[in-house]
Amino acid sequence: MSTVATRAETDNPPPRRAAASPQPPAPVGKRGLRSRLGTSGLVLLGTLVGWLVLRVAMGGMYTLEIGRSDLSPLHESINDLNAWVGENRNTSPIFLYFLNYVQLAVENIGLLLTQTFSRTDFGLEIPNIGWLGTVVLLTFVAYAVGNVRVAALTLVGLLVITSQGLWAETMDTFALVVAAVALSLLIGLPLGIWAGTSERVNKVVVPILDFMQILPAFAYLSPLVLLFMIGPAPAIVATWIFAIPPVIRLTAHGIRQVPATTREAVDSLGVTGQQRLVTVLLPMAKRTIVIGINQTVMAALSMVTIAALIGAPGLGLVVTQALAQLDVGTAFNGGLAIVLLAIIFDRVTTAASMRGEVAARRGGDARRVRLITLVAGAVVTVIAIVLSRIQLWAALPPTSWPDLGAGIIGAGNAVATFAQTNFAVVTQGIKEIFTQGILNPFESLLTGSPWFVVGGVLVVIGYLAGRWKVALIAVVAVAALIGLGVWNDTMYTLASTLLAAVVTMVFGLVFGVWMGRSRMADRILRPFLDAAQTMPAFVYLVPFLALFGPTRFTAIVAAVVFAAPAAIKIITDGISQVSPTTVEAAHSAGTTSWQMITKVQVPMSAKAIGIAANQGLIYCLSMVVVGAMVGAGALGYDVIAGLNQLDLFGRGLAAGLSLVVLGILLDRITQAAADRTPQRVVITPVKRPAPAVATAV
């Protein structure tokens, strides 16, 4: 650091001392390496070196590898349990008096909404609210909670979906999403309000929500199939569990962020707790609560598409079947419909969160015009619903419209064929370089090392990240992964996840720093990041399947694209929130742009970068598992195989539980590392040439 001489030292300079003899430079060795890496860095480096040595010396031994159809005793026991459940579902008290009623209630909710918007069981596919009634109703709702632009977007999106020939499938998905969201709000809003008003409840709820949000979507499937069998009931329950955390968390957050001064002012008036909640807390938290509903809706849509693997009808089933057949065109057509539905959901709920601010800015004349428009729109909606119930032409989607779906399917297949034919040299080259040069060696290191070596490395990393608490979690996680009997497949999934996370963080740092330092870059890129985060996971697989074919590399690329937006936005916020005073001090010291980034902004954003790494890793794990649909294999394949083959159900359930354990382990390590990361900045002044001294002649 630079030092500045005080005024006293300048006026009274100290006596000169004899020049000290020059000291030899510190030897490059243990002391120099420790000063650069620190004790934790040295321990980690030594651990990795020891791992490599043991991998060479003991490669192929104690890897716990089992064949694709081989089952451990645990898997056999789970298969026996599954058979027992099937035989005693209608006689066991827990099913007869509880679970069967839950299944029946959930199925009836789904059936009610499906019959309302999609079809009935009377031979003709005529729903209670037909095509015209649904289009007009949803457009009217979009206008009522938003504005003309949101209504127009909704109308255009629904008409495009109709032209794609996917109206019935879209309404199936829509009905399941509405059912899951309704259950989420019914339970999530009261629980969120309770957590927001009670510190004790909040401390209990937050760890549970953290646990629920780190689980990959595939982890929910097998246990729910065991309880409710294949069908709409487990799909709705899985979607509900996956979607409920955001509304609880953001409702509680919105209430708890109400200023303490406001609470005190209200309490001084002698109001009751219920009055304070209704008149102050909920109105002030309204926008945050609606944002939570938005996130719940988007999570539900994402999970419903994945739940097609356990019997959920709709667009997810279209995409799943197309991916299984490597039909890029059909998958793209279904994926586009999912994206359109996601955009409609996102825009409508986002507009609802801003409704109060927009209404407050509207003048008296504008309010009267809007009121008249709403009344007229309600009348038109009622007429459209009645027509769709009594007229066949209004009940069913038009068949005379241009078949946009066929054109999209043909274009998608043509683009895929063109890309595979003309860009094969590039795409295959990139895939082979990454696979042979990075992926295969890293997978070999993880899968070919003895289990106790890899387990020991994970425990050491856990200790370095969070000391004994995280090290103990790592010990328990390693023991669980061994006991579940799919250790080798877990290592394959871990290898792909870690590599995808590294690439994600590279993109996150590059674009996050750029956006954090440039407002123009932020304005240009943020809309694309927002749009990317509205798309469900399945949609990401389609374009990369066309480019790279069904391989592990395809799943890794899709995982990077899926996780990068979240990492970029978190790092952007971290960089942009660096104190302006610190930045000005660095500028005054003469730092260059590169020094500003590496010496000031990145170190000061260390915690944000750690959080981005945590989120990126969890996102990558979730997407790598979904990538089993396009050849990723490992745990994702085990889960899918267990759902489709009765004799592999035990292995599939064990794989799902392994995903839970792996997700918890990775989350605890990265979160502890982020919490322990110091935020410090070292400003080093730039050396400038000394001014020239004039010499008298």
Instruction: Express each pLDDT in 28-86 by its tens digit.
Output: 444 555 555 567 778 888 888 888 888 888 877 888 777 766 677 888 888 888 888 88
CA-based nearest residue to 246, from 335, 349, 341? 349
pLDDT at residue number 358:
59
Contact indicator for 341, 154 with CB cutoff of 8 Å: no
Q: State pLDDT tens for residues 528-541.
A: 887 777 777 777 77
Neighbours of 602 (CB within 10 A): 21
Confidence check: pLDDT of 329 > 60? yes
Q: Using pLDDT thresholds of 50, 70 and 90, give the confidence band for residue 678.
A: low
The encoded tokens of residue 210 equal 């953290």
Helix (H, G, I), strand (E, B) or coil at 3: coil
Q: State pLDDT tens for residues 386-413.
A: 888 888 888 888 887 888 888 888 888 8
Q: Using pLDDT thresholds of 50, 70 and 90, give the confidence band for residue 8.
A: very low
Domains delineated in the chain: 42-71+423-683 (1.10.3720.10)
Q: Using pLDDT thresholds of 50, 70 and 90, give the confidence band for residue 156.
A: very high
Instruction: Give residues with Cβ within 8 angstroms of 179, minimum separation 6.
Output: 106, 109, 110, 113, 236
Is the pTM higher than 0.85? The answer reads no
pLDDT at residue number 55:
86
Q: State pLDDT tens for residues 233-259.
A: 888 888 888 888 888 888 888 888 877
The encoded tokens of residue 78 equal 């789970």
Q: What is the maximum alpha-carbon separation in the chain?
A: 114
Confidence check: pLDDT of 232 > 90? no
Task: Give start and end residues of each alpha helix (H) in 59-130.
Answer: 73-88, 93-94, 100-117
Q: Give CA separation, 161 vs 146, 169, 398, in Å.
A: 21, 10, 12
User: Which has the minimum average pLDDT: 104-113, 174-183, 274-283, 356-365?
Assistant: 356-365
pLDDT at residue number 3:
36
d(CA 96, CA 109): 20
Assign 3-class secondary structure to 157-204: HHHHHHHCCCHHHHHHHHHHHHHHHHHHHHHHHHHHHHHHHCHHHHHH
Q: Using pLDDT thresholds of 50, 70 and 90, give the confidence band for residue 120.
A: very low
Angle at which helix 232-256 crosses helix 199-214, to 10 degrees, equals 140
Q: Using pLDDT thresholds of 50, 70 and 90, give the confidence band for residue 160.
A: very high
pLDDT at residue number 503:
93
Q: Give CA separation, 655 vs 485, 629, 642, in Å.
A: 8, 15, 9
User: Which has the minimum average pLDDT: 167-176, 218-227, 561-570?
Assistant: 218-227
pLDDT at residue number 107:
79
d(CA 395, CA 130): 4
Instruction: Give residues with Cβ within 8 angstroms of 613, minimum separation 6.
Output: 501, 505, 567, 670, 673, 674
Q: Using pLDDT thresholds of 50, 70 and 90, give the confidence band for residue 474.
A: very high
User: Which has the minimum average pLDDT: 11-15, 84-88, 427-431?
Assistant: 11-15
pLDDT at residue number 458:
92
pLDDT at residue number 691:
38
Mean pLDDT of 544-565: 85
> What is the distance, to the nearest Å, from the Cα of residue 291 to the centroid of all Cα atoms in its chain?
16
Strand partners, 122: 124
Provide the residue count of the chain: 697
Confidence check: pLDDT of 214 > 50? yes
Mean pLDDT over each residue of the chain, to the nearest integer = 80
Task: Give start and end residues of each alpha helix (H) in 198-327.
Answer: 199-214, 221-228, 232-256, 260-267, 273-276, 282-284, 286-306, 315-324
Angle at which helix 232-256 crosses helix 100-117, to 10 degrees, equals 90
pLDDT at residue number 504:
93
Helix, strand and coil percent figures for the chain, each rounded to 5:
80, 0, 20
Q: Phi and psi for 531 in degrees, rounded to 5? A: -65, -40
The 8-class DSSP code of residue 600 comes to: I
Neighbours of 429 (CB within 10 A): 11
pLDDT at residue number 177:
87
Confidence check: pLDDT of 461 > 60? yes
The encoded tokens of residue 296 equal 């719940």
pLDDT at residue number 537:
73
Confidence check: pLDDT of 10 > 90? no
Q: Using pLDDT thresholds of 50, 70 and 90, give the confidence band for residue 505.
A: very high
Name residue, tokens 């009274």: 12
Q: Phi and psi for 124 in degrees, rounded to 5? A: -80, 145
d(CA 213, CA 216): 8
The 8-class DSSP code of residue 596 comes to: I
pLDDT at residue number 11:
41
Name residue, tokens 């020059």: 22
CA-based nearest residue to 117, from 168, 161, 184? 168
Helix (H, G, I), strand (E, B) or coil at 124: strand
The encoded tokens of residue 96 equal 């007869």
Confidence check: pLDDT of 9 > 60? no
Q: What angle do CA 131, 136, 139 make, to 5 degrees?
A: 125
d(CA 554, CA 543): 9
Q: Where does residue 409 fall: left (phi above 0), alpha (psi -120 to 50 degrees), or beta otherwise? A: alpha
Mean pLDDT of 428-456: 89
